[in-house]
Structure 1
Amino acid sequence: MRNFAATALAVVLAASSTLSPVSAFYLPGSAPHDYKKGDKVDVFVNSLSPMLNATLKSLISLDYYDERFHFCRPEGEPVKQPESLGSILFGDRILSSPFNIKMLENQTCVPLCKSSVPQLDAVFINARIRENYGLNFIIDGLPSSEQKRDTKTGETFLDAQGFSLGDATKDVHHPELNNHYDIYIQYHKRGTEHFRVVGVMVYPRSVDSIVKSETTPNCFVNAPYKLSDSQTNEFYYTYTVEFIESDIPWGLRWDSYLHVFDPKIHWFSLINSLVIVGFLTFMVAMILYRTMSKDIHRYNAVDLAEDVQEDYGWKLVHGEVFRAPDRPMLLSVMVGNGAQLICMVSVTLVFALFGFLSPSSRGSLATVLLVCWTLMSGIAGYVSARVFTTLGGETWKPNLILTATLFPIVTFTIIGMLNLFLVFAKASGAMPFGTILAILLLWFLLSLPLAVAGYFLGMKHGGFSHPVRVNSIPRQIPPIPWYLQPVPAAIIGGILPFGAAFVELYFVLSSLFGNRAYYAFGFLFLTFLVVTLTTATVSILFVYFILCAEEYRWQWRAFLVGGGSAFWMFVYGVWYWASRLSFGNFPSVVLYFGYLFLFSLLNFLLGGSIGYISTYFAIRRLYHSIRVD
C-alpha cells in the first residue's frame, strides 16, 4: 500500500505539472514564419460547422465554397491545402480565399466582392443562421477566434470555435447576415524587420453597406443586412484589418487558445473519483484478503488423508472454474480487440499528455489514434491466440480470421453507412474516395499482417496453464440471486466505472459534437487510470460473488461486468441529446446516435477486456493458493 500511494502521488504530481498554465514543453507542428512589412499574409477558409452555444442544432459541416452560400471566391479555382489524414476525417476542408492582407498594413472597409443570392439560396442561408453555423478562417496556422472571458475563473482566452454566420436572436424569422469581418492580427516583433503572427481574432458584423449612387460600400452604416426570401439579394462582403503588437513570443502563442473550462469541476471530479476508487479498492482488497485468507487457511488445514472433506463456496467449484465457456472463439476475439483498444488509448494519451500532439498540427490526435490502432493489431492477434488456446480452442484458423477482420468490418460498416448520410446531405465531412482507399490500404497492408504475426506469436507461447484440473462431468448449478444474472450484474457493475468518468465525458462530448477543442489531457489520462482500476476491481468482486454462489460460468460475466459502463455511456448520450441538443434535421440525429453507438461499442470492448484479463489472473492466483485432492 505504501508503494501504491507513492506511485499514485507521483502520477498526480506529474499530471498537475502538465496541467499548469505555462507551456514549458511545446512541440509545434510547423516552423515559425517570419514576415517583413508588406509581405502577404494568407487567409485560408475552412468548412462551416455548427457552433455549440446554448444548444447544438446540427452535426452537418458544409463546404465554404458551397454554391448555395455565394461567398466570394478567389480568381480561378480555390487552391486546396494539404491536410493530414486525421484532419480530413474530422471534416476539415481548407482552401485559399480572396482576402488580400499584407503585414502591418491596416485596411478599412475593403470590398471582397458583390454577391448576388437568389430566393431559394437565401432560404438555405437563413436556415443555417438559425442553426448557429460558424465560419472558420485560418491565418498562419492559427484559427480565427473571439476573445472571451471565463465567467467562473475570470481569465481571458481566445475561443477558437469560429464566428457566427449570422444572428437570429433579434428576429428568428428574419435573421441578420454577417457580411463584414473585423480582423485583428496580433504580431510579435523580432528585430527591426521580422514579424510573427501570434494571435488572430475575427469579429463579424451585419452591415447594409450598399449606398445608392455610389460604387463603393459603406461599412459604417448601423442598419444590419437581412436576406429576403422573396427576391434576389445583392450586397457586399467587406473586411477591415488591424495589426496589434503583442509581447507574446511565437512559441507561446497557443497558450491563449488552450483554455480548460471549469478547471475546478475537473479537479473536483478527479479527486472525487480517486477517493471513491481508493476506498473501493481498499475495502474490496481487505474483504477479499481477509475472507480468502481464512478460506485458504481452512481448506489447506484439512487433512487430505481423511475420508471426509467438506467443500463449500468458491472452493466447491474448483473442478469447474476453468471449464471452457460458451462461444469461446467470440470471447477470445472480443478480448483481443479490446486489448488492442487499451494499448491504442494508452499510447495516444501518453503522447497527448507530454505535448507531442501539438494543436498547430490539425488532426494530429485522430491521425495518432488511427496509426496506433493499426500498429496495435499485433496485440489483438497475440491476446486472442493466447485466450483462445487457454479456453481449449482448437480451430485456430477461423479464430485468426475473425480476430483480424470482425471488428474492423463492423466499424467500417457503421462509418460507411454514416458517410452515406453525409454524402446525401452534401456535407464537407463526407470522406472522399481517396481517404477511404488510404484507410483500406492501411488496414490491408499493415493491420492484417501485424494481426497475423501477433496471432502466430501467441500460438507459439501457447495458453496459460490452469492451477486445478477440470472435472470430466460438469456439476449442476444452483439458482443464483437476480443481481448476479449476466445482464443485471453488467448494469450494476457498470455504475462505478461510469461514475468515475461521467464529468469528463461531458466535456469530451461537448468537444466532439460541439466543434470545440479539448485540451485537458492530464485530467483525461488520470480519469482513464481511475476507470481502469475501478473496472478491474468491480469485475473481480462480482466474479467472487458468483463463484461463492457456486456459479462457475464466470468468463462472459467478467467481460460483461467490465463492459457494463458502455450501457450507462449510451444512456448518458441519450440524456445529453435530449438536454443539450436540438437537431432540426434527420441526418444529424442519425449521425449522433450512430457515433454514440460506435463509441459505446468501443467502450464495451475496452472495459470488457479489462474485466476479463484482470479477473482471470485474480482467479488463477486464487485457486493456485489452495490444495486440491
Structure 2
Amino acid sequence: MGGVPARAAAWLLFALLLSSSAHSFYLPGVAPRDFITGEELIVKVNKLSSTKTQLPYDYYYLKYCKPDKILNSAENLGEVLRGDRIENSVYRFRMREEEPCKVACRLTLDAESAKNFKEKIDDEYRVNMILDNLPVAVLRQRRDGSQSTTYEHGFRVGFKGNYAGSKEEKYFINNHLSFRVKFHKDELTDTARIVGFEVTPNSIKHDYKEWDAKNPQVTTCNANTKNLVQGSTVPQEVDTDKEVVFTYDVSFMESDIKWASRWDTYLLMNDDQIHWFSIINSLMIVLFLSGMVAMIMMRTLYRDIANYNQLETQDEAQEETGWKLVHGDVFRAPINPGLLCVYVGTGVQIFAMALVTMIFALLGFLSPSNRGGLMTAMVLLWVFMGLFAGYSSSRLYKMFKGTEWKKTTLKTAVMFPGILFAVFFVLNALIWEERSSGAVPFGTMFALFCLWFGISVPLVFVGSYLGFKKPPMEDPVKTNKIPRQIPEQAWDDWLLCLLLVC
C-alpha cells in the first residue's frame, strides 16, 4: 500500500508541470530589443565586400568619416575568420525622429585616398552597415514583373560615368545616404522593434556658403523643407585634392512585418541570382555518370547470371569465374595500410562535422541573424569530431593487423589539419600583405592552434584507444595467401575516365 501515495504524488507533480506556464527562449545574441521613442540608435560599420574579388577590407581603409575614437565590437571566431570588422561610426539616429540632411563630416582627398576609392569602385565594392543586428540593404524591384521587392546587401562605394558632352570616364562617390528604418509598433506599450534597415545612396557635390564646424549647413539640401537637392544635382567626383562633404538623412516607416519575420526579405533571392546553368550542368553530369555505372553493372550481372545458368556440371559450378576471381583479394591489406586508415579517419571526421552542422542548421541554431555562427560551429565540430576520426582509423588499422597504432593515430591527428593549416598560413600572409580585413590576427591563429593541439589531438588519441581495445573486425571471406596478379592498365584508360568526369 505504501506505493500508492508515492504514485499519486508523482502524477500530481506531472500534472503541475503540465499546467505551469511555458516560456519561450531566444538564441544568444538574437533576442528582440524594444526601443522607445527618442532612444538612440547606433549604426555600426562592417567590412567592404565585393563579388568580383574575395578580399574584404576594413571600412576605414577608405577615407570615410571617423568618430573621435574607433571602438571594435566583440566578435566570435566565425566573424573573424570571415573577415568581419564591426566598428562604431558617426551615424547616429533617434528612434522615430526623422533627421533630414545631416552633415557627417567634410574631407579632402589626397592622392592615396583617391586612388583607393577608384580601385574599390572598379572592383564594385559595397559598404556594409549594421543596425540592431540587421545589415543595411538597397531596395530593388524583382525582375519577374511581380510587385515584390528584394534586398541587395550593402551599397556601392561609388560608380563610373561621364559628364554630358564628354567621353572621358570619371569616378563618383556615394557621399549622401538616405536611410529608412522600418519598425513594428507595439500598440500596448508604444515601443517598437526594428524590422528593416534600407538605404538609398546618392552622389551629390554639396555647396555651402560658409563652413561652420559646430553646425555645418549645406545649400544643396535644406533641412527645413526636407528637400534633398536644391538646384543642380552634380555628382561628387573622386580625384586628388577634391573636397567631399558626407551627408545623410533618416526616415522611419511603420511596418506590418513582425520581428520574427524580418529576415525573410533579406533571404529572398532573385531568379537571376540562382545559378541555374551550374545546377543543371551538375545534375546532368551526376545522372550521366550514374547511368553509365548502372549500365555497366547491369551488363556484368546479367552476363554472370547467364553464365551460371549455362553450367551443366558441379565441377563447372565450382570454378571461379566473374567476381569470384577477386573475392579472395578484396579484403587484402594495401601496401600502406596506415595511410589508408588516416584518410578514412579524416573522411569520417569531415562527414560527421557536415552532418551535425546540417542538423544544427535545420534546427535554426545557425540562422543568418547569428552572424559567424556557421563558421564557428564548423570549426568547433571539426575539433570535437576528432574522437570519431581516431576511433574509425584505429578500427580499420586493427583489421589490417597493424601494430603501430600510435603512429597512425598521430598521423590522423596532424596530417590533414597540418596541410590545411600550412596552406592557410601562406594565404593569410598574402592577404595580410594586401592589408585586407580577411587576414586572421595572431591571437586568432593562436586560438586555432590551442583548439587543434589542446582538444582535437587528445580526442583523436582517446578515440583511437577506444577503437583499438575493440576486437578486430572479421573478414566475410578468407583472403588468399598469394595475391592474384592484376595486369597494369594502360594510362589512356584512366585518363579517358578522368576527362569524362571533368
Same fold by TM-score greater than 0.5:
yes
Q: Deviations over 1:133-183 (max 9, x none)?
A: 111110010000011133247363442421000011448842101111000
Q: Which runs of 5+ in 2 are unaligned?
A: 1-24, 222-228
Aligned-partner Cα distance in 1 for 2:37–2:242 = 38
TM-score, normalised by the number of residues in structure 1: 0.66
Look up the match of 1:606.
none
Give yes or no for the alignment of 1:73 onto 2:66: yes
Confirm whether residue 82 of structure 1 aligns to residue 78 of structure 2.
no
From 157, 165, 186, the equivalent of 2:157 is 165
1:139 paired to 2:131? yes
Paired position in structure 2 for 1:542:
none
1:266 positional shift: 9.7
Find 1:102's aligned residue among 69, 94, 109. Answer: 94
Once residues 282 and 313 of structure 1 are traced to their aligned partners in structure 2, the CA distance between those partners, rounded to angstroms, is 17
1:230-379 to 2 correspondences below 5 Å:
232-262=241-271, 265=276, 269=280, 303=314, 309-379=318-388
1:125 counterpart letter in structure 2: F
- For residue 316 of structure 1, give the secondary structure of its aligned residue in structure 2: helix
Q: Distance in 2 between matches of 1:466 and 1:253?
A: 57
Distance 1:490 1:155 in 2: 47
Q: What corresponds to 1:422 in structure 2? A: 431
Of residues 57, 63, 67 in structure 2, which corresponds to 1:62? Answer: 57
**Counterpart mapping for 1:389-538 below 5 A:** 389-480=398-489, 485=494, 488-489=496-497, 492=500, 495=501
Counterparts of 1:347 and 1:266, CA distance in 2: 30
Measure how far apart 1:267 and its partner are.
13
* C-alpha distance in 2 between matches for 1:394 and 1:484: 37
- Provide the C-alpha distance between the structure 1 equivalents of 2:288 and 2:317, rounded to a whole number of angstroms: 44
Report SS of the residue matched to 2:264: coil
Contact kept, 8 Å, 2:342 with 2:412, in 1: the verdict is yes
Q: Distance in 1 between matches of 2:498 and 2:471?
A: 30
Whether the 8 Å contact between 1:46 and 1:138 is mirrored in structure 2 is: yes
Alignment deviations for residues 456-481 of structure 1 (CA, whole Å, 9 cap, x no partner) = 12212244222222222223223546
For 1:127 and 1:484, locate their aligned partners in 2 and report how far apart those are by CA, in whole Å: 48
Q: Which residue of 2 aligns with 1:32?
A: 32
Structure 1 residues 69-106: Cα deviation after superposition (integer angstroms, max 9, x where no partner): 2211112x211111111111101000011112000111
Contact 2:308–2:317 at 8 Å: present in 1 too?
no
* Structure 1 residue 387: Cα displacement: 2.0
Asked if the contact 1:72/1:113 (under 8 Å) is kept, the reply is yes
Q: Which of 120, 130, 133 is the equivalent residue of 2:112? A: 120
Contact 2:150–2:270 (Cα < 8 Å) also in 1? no
Distance 1:96 1:278, change over 3 A: same
Are positions 1:223 and 2:234 aligned together? yes
Letter in 1 for 2:105: C
1:175 and 2:209 equivalent?
Answer: no
Amino acid at match of 1:332: C
Q: Is the 8 A contact 1:28 1:358 kept in 2?
A: no
1:207 correspondence with 2:204: yes
Give 2:11's aligned residue: none
Q: How many Å separate the matches in 2 of 1:27 and 1:302?
A: 72
For 1:90 and 1:268, the matched residues in 2 are separated by 26
Distance in 2 separating the partners of 1:475 and 1:274: 33
Contact 1:148 1:156 in 2 (8 A): no
Q: Relative to 1, partners in 2 of residues 1:271 and 1:460: Cα closer, same or farther, differing over 3 Å?
A: same
Equivalent residue for 2:141, pick from 143, 149, 152 = 149
Report the alpha carbon displacement of residue 278 of structure 1 after superposing the two structures with TM.
8.5
Shift of 1:366: 0.7
The reply on whether 1:385 has 2:394 as its aligned counterpart is: yes
- The 8 Å contact of residues 207 and 222 in structure 1, kept in 2 or not, is answered as yes
Distance 1:293 1:155 in 2: 62
Q: Cα–Cα, structure 1 residues 153 and 407, in superposed 2: closer, same or farther, change >3 Å?
A: farther
Change (3 A) 1:241 1:420: same
Q: In structure 2, how many angstroms separate the alpha carbons of the residues matched to 1:251 and 1:308?
A: 69
State the SS of the aligned residue for 2:401.
coil
Shift of 1:353: 2.8
Q: 1:416 to 1:249 in 2, by over 3 A?
A: same
Distance 1:130 1:264 in 2: 24
Question: In 1, distance between residues paired with 2:72 and 2:58?
Answer: 12
Partner of residue 517, structure 1: none
Q: Secondary structure at the match of 2:383?
A: helix
Report the alpha carbon displacement of residue 129 of structure 1 after superposing the two structures with TM.
1.1
Q: 1:265 to 1:130 in 2, by over 3 A?
A: closer
1:482–1:65 CA distance, 2 compared to 1 (3 A): closer
Higher relative contact order (CA 8 A, sep 6+): 1
Distance 2:170 2:87 in 1: 30
Partner SS, residue 105 of structure 2: strand
Hey, which of these two has a bigger chunk of helix by percent?
A: 1
Q: Distance in 1 between matches of 2:54 and 2:275?
A: 29
Unaligned runs of 5+ in 1: 1-24, 496-567, 569-629
Letter in 2 for 1:63: D
Q: Indicate yes or no: 2:190 matched with 1:190.
A: no
Distance 2:398 2:149 in 1: 55
Q: CA deviation at 1:193?
A: 2.1
1: CA distance, partners of 2:157 / 2:179: 15
Superposition deviation, residue 210 in structure 1: 2.6
Q: What TM-score do the two structures reach when normalised by structure 2?
A: 0.82
Specify the SS of the correspondent of 2:435: coil
Q: 1:418 to 1:271 in 2, by over 3 A?
A: closer
CA distance in structure 1 between the aligned counterparts of 2:308 and 2:197, rounded to whole angstroms: 68
Contact 1:26 1:251 (C-alpha < 8 Å) held by counterparts = no
Deviation at 1:349, TM superposition (A): 1.6
Q: Aligned-pair distance for 1:234? A: 1.9
Query: Residue in 2 aligned with 1:554?
Result: none
Deviations 1:212-264 (A, max 9, x none): 446422341401111223xx222211101000110101111111111134379
1:391 Cα offset (Å):
3.0
Give distance in 2, aligned partners of 1:453 and 1:284. Answer: 43
| Post-superposition CA distance 1:413-439 (Å, at most 9, x none) | 111111101110110111111211111
Q: Aligned pair in 2 of structure 1 residues 212, 46: CA closer, same or farther (>3 Å)?
A: same
Query: Partners in 1 of 2:362 and 2:160 — Cα distance?
Result: 40
Are the structure 2 counterparts of residues 155 and 387 from structure 1 closer, same or farther at C-alpha, using a change threshold of 3 Å?
Answer: farther
Larger Rg: 2
Whole-angstrom distance in 1 between the partners of 2:238 and 2:89: 23
SS in 1 for 2:356: helix
- Hey, what's the Cα distance between the residues in 2 that align with 1:484 and 1:268? 28
Aligned partner of residue 98 in structure 1, secondary structure = strand
Query: Structure 2 vs 1, CA of residues 292 and 323 (structure 1 numbering), >3 Å: closer, same or farther?
Result: same
Change (3 A) 1:403 1:236: same
Which residue does 1:91 correspond to in 2? Answer: 83
User: Relative to 1, partners in 2 of residues 1:333 and 1:261: Cα closer, same or farther, differing over 3 Å?
Assistant: farther
Comparing 25-34 with 104-113, greater Cα deviation is found at 25-34
Question: Aligned partners of 2:340 and 2:290: how far apart in 1?
Answer: 30
In 1, the alpha carbon distance for the partners of 2:194 and 2:449 equals 39
